[in-house]
Structure 1
Protein backbone atom coordinates (compact mmCIF):
# COMPACT_ATOMS: atom_id res chain seq x y z
CA UNK A 1 0.00 0.00 0.00
CA UNK A 2 2.85 2.38 0.83
CA UNK A 3 4.43 1.72 -2.57
CA UNK A 4 1.14 2.52 -4.33
CA UNK A 5 0.78 5.84 -2.51
CA UNK A 6 4.44 6.69 -3.24
CA UNK A 7 3.90 5.91 -6.92
CA UNK A 8 0.80 8.12 -7.04
CA UNK A 9 2.78 10.97 -5.49
CA UNK A 10 5.73 10.62 -7.91
CA UNK A 11 3.72 10.29 -11.18
CA UNK A 12 2.80 14.02 -11.44
CA UNK A 13 6.49 14.88 -11.80
CA UNK A 14 6.57 13.10 -15.18
CA UNK A 15 3.73 14.92 -16.90
CA UNK A 16 4.23 16.28 -20.42
CA UNK A 17 2.24 18.43 -22.79
CA UNK A 18 1.92 17.79 -26.53
CA UNK A 19 0.89 21.35 -27.35
CA UNK A 20 1.21 24.81 -25.98
CA UNK A 21 -1.97 26.13 -24.44
CA UNK A 22 -3.56 26.58 -21.08
CA UNK A 23 -2.02 24.06 -18.75
CA UNK A 24 -4.26 22.30 -16.26
CA UNK A 25 -3.83 23.58 -12.75
CA UNK A 26 -3.89 22.02 -9.33
CA UNK A 27 -7.23 22.41 -7.58
CA UNK A 28 -8.18 22.28 -3.95
CA UNK A 29 -11.59 21.67 -2.37
CA UNK A 30 -13.04 21.54 1.11
CA UNK A 31 -16.41 20.10 1.93
CA UNK A 32 -18.87 18.42 4.22
CA UNK A 33 -19.86 14.76 3.98
CA UNK A 34 -22.93 12.79 4.94
CA UNK A 35 -22.76 8.98 5.07
CA UNK A 36 -25.53 6.40 5.09
CA UNK A 37 -24.16 3.01 6.22
CA UNK A 38 -25.81 0.04 4.52
CA UNK A 39 -25.26 -2.41 7.36
CA UNK A 40 -23.35 -2.74 10.59
CA UNK A 41 -23.37 -0.91 13.89
CA UNK A 42 -23.88 2.64 12.58
CA UNK A 43 -26.95 4.76 11.83
CA UNK A 44 -25.42 7.76 10.10
CA UNK A 45 -22.10 9.50 9.56
CA UNK A 46 -21.06 13.13 9.19
CA UNK A 47 -17.68 14.65 8.49
CA UNK A 48 -15.50 17.04 6.54
CA UNK A 49 -12.75 16.55 4.00
CA UNK A 50 -10.04 18.37 2.08
CA UNK A 51 -9.05 17.23 -1.41
CA UNK A 52 -6.11 18.11 -3.63
CA UNK A 53 -6.38 17.33 -7.35
CA UNK A 54 -3.37 17.31 -9.69
CA UNK A 55 -4.03 16.91 -13.44
CA UNK A 56 -1.57 14.55 -15.14
CA UNK A 57 -2.97 14.00 -18.64
CA UNK A 58 -6.27 15.35 -19.90
CA UNK A 59 -8.83 14.06 -18.81
CA UNK A 60 -7.14 12.24 -15.87
CA UNK A 61 -6.11 13.69 -12.49
CA UNK A 62 -4.65 12.27 -9.30
CA UNK A 63 -6.28 13.10 -5.97
CA UNK A 64 -5.27 13.14 -2.31
CA UNK A 65 -8.02 13.29 0.32
CA UNK A 66 -7.88 13.75 4.09
CA UNK A 67 -10.64 14.43 6.58
CA UNK A 68 -12.56 13.20 9.57
CA UNK A 69 -15.81 11.28 9.92
CA UNK A 70 -17.97 10.59 12.93
CA UNK A 71 -20.35 7.64 12.78
CA UNK A 72 -23.15 7.28 15.31
CA UNK A 73 -23.93 3.82 16.66
CA UNK A 74 -27.29 2.10 16.59
CA UNK A 75 -28.79 0.96 19.89
CA UNK A 76 -27.75 -2.67 19.93
CA UNK A 77 -26.34 -5.27 22.31
CA UNK A 78 -23.49 -5.71 19.77
CA UNK A 79 -22.08 -2.29 20.69
CA UNK A 80 -19.86 -3.85 23.36
CA UNK A 81 -20.67 -1.15 25.88
CA UNK A 82 -19.75 1.71 23.53
CA UNK A 83 -22.34 4.38 22.95
CA UNK A 84 -22.34 7.57 20.95
CA UNK A 85 -20.09 8.04 17.95
CA UNK A 86 -16.86 6.64 16.60
CA UNK A 87 -14.37 9.04 15.01
CA UNK A 88 -12.30 8.07 11.97
CA UNK A 89 -9.65 9.86 9.86
CA UNK A 90 -9.67 8.80 6.19
CA UNK A 91 -6.45 9.28 4.17
CA UNK A 92 -6.92 8.29 0.53
CA UNK A 93 -5.28 8.68 -2.88
CA UNK A 94 -7.13 8.24 -6.12
CA UNK A 95 -7.76 8.86 -9.78
CA UNK A 96 -10.37 11.20 -11.25
CA UNK A 97 -11.57 10.88 -14.85
CA UNK A 98 -13.39 13.87 -16.39
CA UNK A 99 -16.19 12.38 -18.48
CA UNK A 100 -17.39 15.73 -19.82
CA UNK A 101 -17.40 19.35 -18.77
CA UNK A 102 -18.55 19.33 -15.17
CA UNK A 103 -19.03 15.54 -14.81
CA UNK A 104 -16.39 13.14 -13.53
CA UNK A 105 -15.85 9.68 -12.06
CA UNK A 106 -13.50 9.05 -9.17
CA UNK A 107 -11.94 6.01 -7.49
CA UNK A 108 -9.89 6.21 -4.29
CA UNK A 109 -8.13 3.82 -1.91
CA UNK A 110 -6.28 4.35 1.33
CA UNK A 111 -6.24 4.02 5.07
CA UNK A 112 -8.85 4.81 7.70
CA UNK A 113 -7.58 5.46 11.23
CA UNK A 114 -9.94 5.02 14.18
CA UNK A 115 -9.31 7.61 16.88
CA UNK A 116 -11.31 6.10 19.74
CA UNK A 117 -11.88 2.65 21.25
CA UNK A 118 -9.90 0.06 19.25
CA UNK A 119 -7.53 2.48 17.41
CA UNK A 120 -7.73 0.27 14.31
CA UNK A 121 -6.16 1.06 10.94
CA UNK A 122 -8.42 -0.10 8.12
CA UNK A 123 -8.14 -0.28 4.34
CA UNK A 124 -10.83 1.57 2.36
CA UNK A 125 -11.81 2.02 -1.25
CA UNK A 126 -14.48 4.17 -2.84
CA UNK A 127 -15.90 4.85 -6.27
CA UNK A 128 -18.53 7.22 -7.62
CA UNK A 129 -19.57 10.13 -9.84
CA UNK A 130 -19.62 13.85 -9.11
CA UNK A 131 -20.68 17.05 -10.82
CA UNK A 132 -19.34 20.59 -10.69
CA UNK A 133 -21.81 23.40 -10.21
CA UNK A 134 -20.38 26.63 -11.64
CA UNK A 135 -20.52 29.94 -9.80
CA UNK A 136 -20.28 33.42 -11.22
CA UNK A 137 -16.70 33.67 -9.93
CA UNK A 138 -13.96 32.35 -12.22
CA UNK A 139 -11.96 29.34 -10.99
CA UNK A 140 -14.41 28.57 -8.19
CA UNK A 141 -17.14 25.96 -8.30
CA UNK A 142 -19.24 23.82 -6.03
CA UNK A 143 -18.85 20.07 -6.27
CA UNK A 144 -21.54 17.52 -5.48
CA UNK A 145 -20.38 13.90 -5.30
CA UNK A 146 -21.92 10.55 -4.54
CA UNK A 147 -19.80 7.49 -3.73
CA UNK A 148 -19.94 3.92 -2.55
CA UNK A 149 -17.29 3.20 0.08
CA UNK A 150 -16.20 -0.03 1.75
CA UNK A 151 -13.83 -0.47 4.70
CA UNK A 152 -11.86 -3.62 5.50
CA UNK A 153 -13.04 -6.37 7.80
CA UNK A 154 -16.65 -5.47 6.93
CA UNK A 155 -16.36 -2.57 9.39
CA UNK A 156 -18.42 -0.24 7.22
CA UNK A 157 -20.09 -0.05 3.84
CA UNK A 158 -21.74 3.24 3.04
CA UNK A 159 -23.19 5.52 0.44
CA UNK A 160 -21.76 8.98 1.00
CA UNK A 161 -22.59 12.44 -0.31
CA UNK A 162 -19.93 15.17 -0.46
CA UNK A 163 -20.72 18.85 -0.99
CA UNK A 164 -17.58 20.95 -1.44
CA UNK A 165 -16.35 24.38 -2.45
CA UNK A 166 -13.67 24.01 -5.11
CA UNK A 167 -10.84 26.45 -5.92
CA UNK A 168 -9.55 26.10 -9.47
CA UNK A 169 -10.96 24.49 -12.60
Structure 2
Protein backbone atom coordinates (compact mmCIF):
# COMPACT_ATOMS: atom_id res chain seq x y z
CA UNK A 1 0.00 0.00 0.00
CA UNK A 2 2.81 2.42 0.92
CA UNK A 3 4.60 1.79 -2.40
CA UNK A 4 1.44 2.49 -4.37
CA UNK A 5 0.94 5.82 -2.60
CA UNK A 6 4.54 6.90 -3.32
CA UNK A 7 4.21 6.10 -7.03
CA UNK A 8 0.83 7.85 -7.16
CA UNK A 9 2.36 10.98 -5.61
CA UNK A 10 5.31 10.90 -8.01
CA UNK A 11 3.00 10.52 -11.02
CA UNK A 12 0.80 13.37 -9.76
CA UNK A 13 3.75 15.79 -9.79
CA UNK A 14 5.61 16.51 -13.00
CA UNK A 15 9.26 15.49 -13.07
CA UNK A 16 11.73 17.27 -15.33
CA UNK A 17 15.31 17.69 -16.47
CA UNK A 18 16.98 20.96 -17.35
CA UNK A 19 20.27 22.34 -18.55
CA UNK A 20 21.72 25.80 -18.88
CA UNK A 21 24.42 28.30 -18.01
CA UNK A 22 25.55 29.89 -14.76
CA UNK A 23 27.37 33.10 -13.93
CA UNK A 24 28.95 33.06 -10.46
CA UNK A 25 30.22 36.09 -8.54
CA UNK A 26 32.63 35.27 -5.67
CA UNK A 27 31.79 37.02 -2.41
CA UNK A 28 33.83 38.07 0.62
CA UNK A 29 37.44 36.87 0.66
CA UNK A 30 36.70 34.58 -2.30
CA UNK A 31 36.61 37.65 -4.55
CA UNK A 32 40.39 37.97 -4.00
CA UNK A 33 40.89 34.71 -5.94
CA UNK A 34 38.42 35.33 -8.77
CA UNK A 35 36.10 38.05 -10.03
CA UNK A 36 33.74 35.78 -11.96
CA UNK A 37 33.00 32.16 -12.74
CA UNK A 38 31.18 30.73 -15.75
CA UNK A 39 29.76 27.27 -16.18
CA UNK A 40 27.06 24.93 -17.34
CA UNK A 41 24.78 22.54 -15.49
CA UNK A 42 22.34 19.65 -15.80
CA UNK A 43 19.61 19.37 -13.17
CA UNK A 44 17.01 16.65 -12.63
CA UNK A 45 13.87 16.95 -10.51
CA UNK A 46 11.63 14.18 -9.22
CA UNK A 47 8.26 15.36 -7.94
CA UNK A 48 7.16 13.92 -4.60
CA UNK A 49 3.98 15.99 -4.21
CA UNK A 50 2.54 19.16 -5.75
CA UNK A 51 4.74 21.21 -3.36
CA UNK A 52 7.93 19.11 -2.82
CA UNK A 53 10.57 17.65 -5.15
CA UNK A 54 13.93 15.93 -4.92
CA UNK A 55 16.72 17.45 -7.03
CA UNK A 56 20.09 16.30 -8.38
CA UNK A 57 22.51 18.75 -9.97
CA UNK A 58 25.84 18.36 -11.76
CA UNK A 59 27.85 21.20 -13.24
CA UNK A 60 31.26 22.38 -14.37
CA UNK A 61 32.38 25.87 -13.34
CA UNK A 62 35.53 27.80 -14.25
CA UNK A 63 36.53 30.57 -11.83
CA UNK A 64 38.85 32.84 -13.78
CA UNK A 65 42.02 33.99 -12.00
CA UNK A 66 42.59 37.64 -11.09
CA UNK A 67 45.44 39.92 -12.10
CA UNK A 68 47.54 41.53 -9.37
CA UNK A 69 50.35 43.88 -10.39
CA UNK A 70 50.82 42.12 -13.75
CA UNK A 71 50.77 38.58 -12.30
CA UNK A 72 47.68 36.45 -12.81
CA UNK A 73 46.40 33.89 -10.31
CA UNK A 74 45.42 30.57 -11.91
CA UNK A 75 41.91 29.78 -13.07
CA UNK A 76 40.21 27.01 -11.10
CA UNK A 77 37.76 24.52 -12.61
CA UNK A 78 35.40 22.55 -10.36
CA UNK A 79 32.65 19.97 -10.85
CA UNK A 80 30.04 20.49 -8.11
CA UNK A 81 27.64 17.59 -7.62
CA UNK A 82 24.67 18.22 -5.31
CA UNK A 83 21.31 16.80 -4.28
CA UNK A 84 18.51 18.43 -2.34
CA UNK A 85 14.88 19.42 -1.86
CA UNK A 86 12.74 21.97 -3.66
CA UNK A 87 9.59 23.57 -2.22
CA UNK A 88 7.09 25.35 -4.47
CA UNK A 89 5.44 28.38 -2.87
CA UNK A 90 3.18 28.56 -5.93
CA UNK A 91 3.09 26.93 -9.36
CA UNK A 92 6.14 28.72 -10.80
CA UNK A 93 8.17 30.01 -7.80
CA UNK A 94 10.36 27.83 -5.58
CA UNK A 95 12.93 27.79 -2.79
CA UNK A 96 15.49 25.01 -2.56
CA UNK A 97 18.44 23.71 -0.63
CA UNK A 98 21.18 21.40 -1.87
CA UNK A 99 24.18 19.59 -0.34
CA UNK A 100 27.03 17.79 -2.06
CA UNK A 101 30.68 18.06 -3.08
CA UNK A 102 32.79 20.41 -5.24
CA UNK A 103 35.46 18.33 -6.99
CA UNK A 104 38.56 20.13 -8.36
CA UNK A 105 39.31 19.32 -12.01
CA UNK A 106 42.37 21.30 -13.13
CA UNK A 107 44.46 21.38 -9.94
CA UNK A 108 45.38 19.27 -6.91
CA UNK A 109 42.94 20.89 -4.50
CA UNK A 110 40.80 18.99 -2.03
CA UNK A 111 37.20 18.01 -2.61
CA UNK A 112 35.01 20.42 -0.64
CA UNK A 113 31.64 20.08 1.06
CA UNK A 114 29.15 22.13 -1.03
CA UNK A 115 25.94 23.70 0.26
CA UNK A 116 23.55 26.01 -1.57
CA UNK A 117 20.23 27.64 -0.62
CA UNK A 118 18.43 29.36 -3.49
CA UNK A 119 15.26 30.69 -5.07
CA UNK A 120 13.93 30.54 -8.61
CA UNK A 121 11.06 30.88 -11.00
CA UNK A 122 9.82 29.20 -14.15
CA UNK A 123 8.66 31.07 -17.24
CA UNK A 124 6.37 28.94 -19.40
CA UNK A 125 7.08 28.71 -23.12
CA UNK A 126 4.29 29.32 -25.60
CA UNK A 127 2.55 26.17 -26.82
CA UNK A 128 4.77 23.74 -24.88
CA UNK A 129 5.09 22.14 -21.46
CA UNK A 130 8.77 23.17 -21.40
CA UNK A 131 9.92 26.18 -19.35
CA UNK A 132 12.77 28.59 -18.78
CA UNK A 133 14.32 28.40 -15.30
CA UNK A 134 15.80 31.52 -13.72
CA UNK A 135 17.48 31.04 -10.34
CA UNK A 136 19.56 32.86 -7.74
CA UNK A 137 21.55 31.10 -5.03
CA UNK A 138 24.28 31.55 -2.45
CA UNK A 139 26.77 28.68 -2.58
CA UNK A 140 29.62 27.79 -0.24
CA UNK A 141 32.36 25.19 -0.60
CA UNK A 142 33.87 24.36 2.77
CA UNK A 143 37.09 22.40 3.18
CA UNK A 144 39.40 21.90 6.11
CA UNK A 145 43.15 21.75 6.29
CA UNK A 146 45.46 21.02 9.16
CA UNK A 147 48.28 23.46 9.88
CA UNK A 148 49.06 23.03 13.61
CA UNK A 149 45.32 23.50 14.28
CA UNK A 150 42.14 22.64 12.44
CA UNK A 151 41.19 25.43 10.08
CA UNK A 152 38.13 25.56 7.83
CA UNK A 153 37.90 27.82 4.82
CA UNK A 154 34.88 28.51 2.64
CA UNK A 155 34.89 29.65 -0.98
CA UNK A 156 31.54 31.36 -1.47
CA UNK A 157 29.69 33.00 -4.33
CA UNK A 158 26.36 34.27 -5.62
CA UNK A 159 25.17 32.24 -8.62
CA UNK A 160 22.71 33.27 -11.32
CA UNK A 161 21.28 30.47 -13.44
CA UNK A 162 19.40 30.54 -16.75
CA UNK A 163 18.23 27.22 -18.10
CA UNK A 164 15.72 25.35 -20.21
CA UNK A 165 13.58 22.66 -18.56
CA UNK A 166 11.97 19.66 -20.30
CA UNK A 167 9.05 17.86 -18.70
CA UNK A 168 9.45 14.07 -18.40
* Structure 2 length-normalised TM: 0.82
SS in 2 for 1:152: strand
Provide closer, same or farther for how the CA distance between residues 156 and 163 of structure 1 changes in structure 2, counting only shifts above 3 A. Answer: same
Q: 1:15 Cα shift?
A: 1.7
Q: What corresponds to 1:166 in structure 2?
A: 165
The structure where strand makes up a greater share of residues is 2
For the pair 1:97 / 2:105, whether they are aligned, the reply is: no
Runs ≥4 residues deviating over 4 A: none
Q: What corresponds to 1:29 in structure 2?
A: 18
- Aligned partners of 1:15 and 1:57 also within 8 Å: no
Aligned mates of 2:68, 2:113 — CA distance in 1: 25
Q: Aligned-pair RMSD on alpha carbons?
A: 2.3
Q: What corresponds to 2:41 in structure 1?
A: 49
- Aligned partners of 2:41 and 2:59 also within 8 Å: yes
Matches within 5 A, 1:68-83: 68-76=60-68, 83=73
Per-residue deviation, residues 11-45 of structure 1 (Å, max 9, x unmatched): x9972547xxx722320000100000003211110
Structure 2 residue ranges without an equivalent (≥5): 144-152
Q: What corresponds to 1:130 in structure 2?
A: 120
- Pick from 3, 9, 15 the counterpart of residue 6 of structure 2: 15
* Structure 1 length-normalised TM: 0.81
Provide closer, same or farther for how the CA distance between residues 71 and 15 of structure 1 changes in structure 2, counting only shifts above 3 A. Answer: same
Larger Rg: 2
- Aligned partners of 1:68 and 1:87 also within 8 Å: yes
